[in-house]
Structure 1
């Protein structure tokens, strides 16, 4: 069924993603200004729901465009469609609101060379990045996110067998899907030996490896964002978790003393990661706020670009001072998310969208 304006009453997050950038689509966010300021879809216009019922409030909303109303969970946005209909404006409500939007996954190939193919899976509403690393018909999944079922779909479409799953570290801003992906695929689950986990998994330490067809992913201990962070290196690619981003580094305060961790991060950037070949691509587990994608759609940097950055040039003391002074607010629900990701408490999948609500706050930008 459609509304009086000819639009379907609901639009899915995937459908909305496909229409972003279309001049014929108008995004109307009806949350309160503080909610909108904290986390929003690019290009959206904010008009709080109550205002839509005021005289003349709808005059600025364009006719002739596909209007999509947005709120936190899809309730206020549905009411907004009725307010707009009273003014002769057809509209659709974003199904599940921002919580639903945070669960949309978009795969794209970002590397295909030397027998290794990499499919980046972006959780567009959250900025999370995971990877399907394929070689010789086998695949390793790194930093899987929910919905976990998407990885089996990707593997089937690409003719791949998932044989290994790994997290670079214990994430604090989103719920890891690595256990579920590994279980569904019958794959080996790998977790850092330098972090505490209460689950069945293979513990991988610095210098260890994850077999992948005729090659392997080599583990490099990269402490700083978390004490046990690992990077996985193969064919000139380093999947570096939240250690380094284009224009920033991982926040050091979610798992231990911020100053100590920032010092460890400095040493990692100048040693274990910074010591890799300058052409090595660093592929992170998040896109930094405001980051622009490379032509292939990937978000990341190279070791050479890392070395030329402002933070890299700082001495250890200055680095610690600048990083700890620039830490953003902590992600909502981070303590509970860490417990889920360590396997310390059971997870109700229905809780995931609300647990992950809010912006990506894992990066510290260069001053």
Structure 2
């Protein structure tokens, strides 16, 4: 009997309930990027360890729980799963491995009001978050990733037409689906023109639209200039209550200012954003970022977000009002850059085109757009 094969959606359902993941990639790859979850147990035993009949290897595995085997693309996981199956373990494997997991999206409803629904779409492997704001059959999509079918299916499920698409900034760690989604749906694609210098892509300069209204009621979508992560970064304020903060403010940190090679200069903009622009917003505003760096940031509601007042209390750097000290903190802890970020930026600007296979390869790896100072 063949070993059970599961897909990414099934794996996510198992993670929600509790499961053991056996990752058979090399330890370096595992440490760099792995599947995480609040209810899972993660083990890393390289696949070649299973090629020898060594009882010590098998002794590390539970006999009374389901084991899901993971590798990069599925082949090694299948081989190990078959070995374990023969030894009587309750085992399955993820069909296309981390490559498949990197393309899995999970929508979670943040809020449902009488004439407004806000959905966060979580690309768990990347820590990338995008949003659909729905009112009276029309939808705004913010920071869509490149797998646009995810948004088309969601809009169909919600019986909504995608009318507006916004990228809060020029993304560096994943390929945007904004332009392609606009071409597919006829929606207007907005992004700050300062992000798109040299681009031939069709877009509407976001700075020309202080407010967007859609649906039969006023859904005020205010583009708040919040530079620092990039010069043209914006945050989207919906109905004065929900701040889709892009890569400016995270639940546990701030957006990194170094990806343009001007860390200190952009850190000054980030300081002004935090202590002048964002300072004017109420503590009750719900901050919903475009990335997260730790699975613990997913709250009990199943989404990543927190009240601005709580972030101000818990986030050390947002209390560091001394400009010089703030700059040192921001520029001193930026860490490794996102893999392939320079090429990804040019793809998002429209100056480079790649195949779907190449895009998948470029996006492999974790999100590195957040600075954590919680």
Correspondence for 2:25 among 31, 42, 52: 31
Quote the residue 1:15 is aligned against.
Answer: 10
Match of 1:300?
A: 305
Q: Does 1:277 align with 2:282?
A: yes
Aligned to 2:237: 233
2: distance between equivalents of 1:209 and 1:347? 34
SS at 2:20's partner residue? strand
Q: Where does residue 155 of structure 1 map in the other structure?
A: 155
Question: Structure 2: 5+ residue runs without aligned partners?
Answer: none
Match for residue 68 of structure 2?
A: 68
Structure 1 gaps, min length 5 = none
Question: Structure 1 residues 192 and 276, CA, compared in 2 at 3 Å: closer, same or farther?
Answer: same
Within-5 A mapping of 1:106-185 = 106-113=106-113, 115-185=115-185
Checking the alignment, whether the CA contact within 8 Å between 2:245 and 2:287 is kept in structure 1 is yes
Structure 1 vs Structure 2 CA RMSD: 1.8
Question: Residue 89 of structure 2 aligns with which residue?
Answer: 89
Matched, 1:286 2:291: yes
| Other-structure match for 2:223 | 219
Counterpart in the other structure of 1:257: 262
CA contact (8 A) 2:297 2:305 kept: no
Quote the residue 1:339 is aligned against: 346
**Structure richer in helix, relative to its length:** 2
More deviation, 71-80/185-194: 71-80
Correspondence 1:310 to 2:310: no
Deviates more, 1:331-340 or 1:71-80: 71-80
- Structure 1 pair 339–244 and aligned structure 2 pair: CA distance change class (3 A): same
Q: Partner residue of 1:52?
A: 50
Instruction: Note the C-alpha offset of 1:250.
Output: 0.7
Q: 1:339 & 1:316 partners in 2: Cα distance?
A: 32
Q: Give, in angstroms, the shift of residue 93 of structure 1.
A: 2.2
Does the CA-based 8 Å contact 1:247-1:365 persist in structure 2? Answer: yes
Farther-moved stretch of structure 1 (270-279 vs 217-226): 270-279
Matched-pair contact (CA < 8 Å) for 1:274–1:303: no
Check 1:76–1:218 CA distance in 2 against 1; reply closer, same or farther (3 A cut). Answer: same
Kindly report structure 1 stretches of 4+ aligned residues shifted beyond 3 Å: 85-90
